A and B are shown apart, each in its own frame.
Chain A
Amino acid sequence: DGGITQSPKYLFRKEGQNVTLSCEQNLNHDAMYWYRQDPGQGLRLIYYSQIVNDFQKGDIAEGYSVSREKKESFPLTVTSAQKNPTAFYLCASSISPQFTIYFGEGSWLTVV
C-alpha cells in the first residue's frame, strides 16, 4: 500500500541524548515536511524539503536536524540542544507544496 511510514511510534529519551525519527514514503512525492504538535496546539513546522539533497528550516528548527539523501526518506534528529523535546512529531509529504499534503501516523517522543 502507498503511504507514509513513521517509526518508532513511541520513543523515550534520556536528557542529553540525540534521537532520530524515521519517515519513509512510497508515494513518489518530491516534497516532505516535519511538524511538531504539543498538547492542545496546532502543528508547527520544523523543517521541509522540496527536492533531494535540499532542505529548509521552518519556524522552530532550533535543536533539530534533518537529511534528504533519498527521495523517499526524510529522517529527523532531535538533538540534546532541543530544550523541550517531548511532543508528537508528524511527517508529511506532497507532490509539491501547492498540492494536497498527506501525513504519517506520527511519533510520540517523551524525555525521561
Chain B
Amino acid sequence: GIQVEQSPPDLILQEGANSTLRCNFSDSVNNLQWFHQNPWGQLINLFYIPSGTKQNGRLSATTVATERYSLLYISSSQTTDSGVYFCAVDNQAGTALIFGKGTTLSVSS
C-alpha cells in the first residue's frame, strides 16, 4: 500500500520562529490533507491540498504531486501551534485516508 513519511518527527521552536514540515508519499494521490492535533486529542483539518498552494493566515501548504511531496509552512509560530501535525493521503482505492506518523511541534514562549 501507499507509504506516507513525515519529517522531522519532532520540532522545538521559540515563539515567533518559522518552520517547514514535510510529507513524502510513495504513489500518486488524488487527496492530500493536513491536520493539527491539539494536546487534548482533537484533530482539526488545516488544508485539503492534493496539488498547488493554499494559505490560511500564518499557515500555508504546497503540494507538488508530480514529485510526491507536500510542505506545510508555519510562520511566526505561537504557543497555540503546539501539537502534532499529520499529513494524510487517499489509499489506492480512493476510499479512505492513510496517515503519516506526524510531526510533534513544541513552541515555547
CA distance A105 to B37 in the complex (A): 10
Of all chain A residues, which has the CB nearest B42? Answer: A105
Residues in A38-79 with C-beta less than 8 Å from chain B: 41-45, 48, 50, 56, 58-59
**A101 and B95 in contact (CB under 8 A), knowing A42-B100, A42-B101, A90-B43?**
no
CA distance A99 to B31 in the complex (A): 8
Q: State how many residues of chain B have any CB contact under 8 Å with chain A.
A: 26
Residues of chain B within 8 A (CB-CB) of A50 are: 95
Residues on B lying within 8 angstroms of A by beta carbon are 1, 4, 30-31, 33, 35, 40-45, 48, 86, 88, 90-91, 94-102
Q: A41-B101, A45-B97, A100-B33 are in contact. List 14 more A-B contacts (CB 8 A).
A: A42-B4, A42-B99, A42-B100, A42-B102, A45-B91, A45-B96, A58-B96, A97-B90, A98-B31, A98-B94, A101-B33, A101-B88, A103-B43, A103-B44
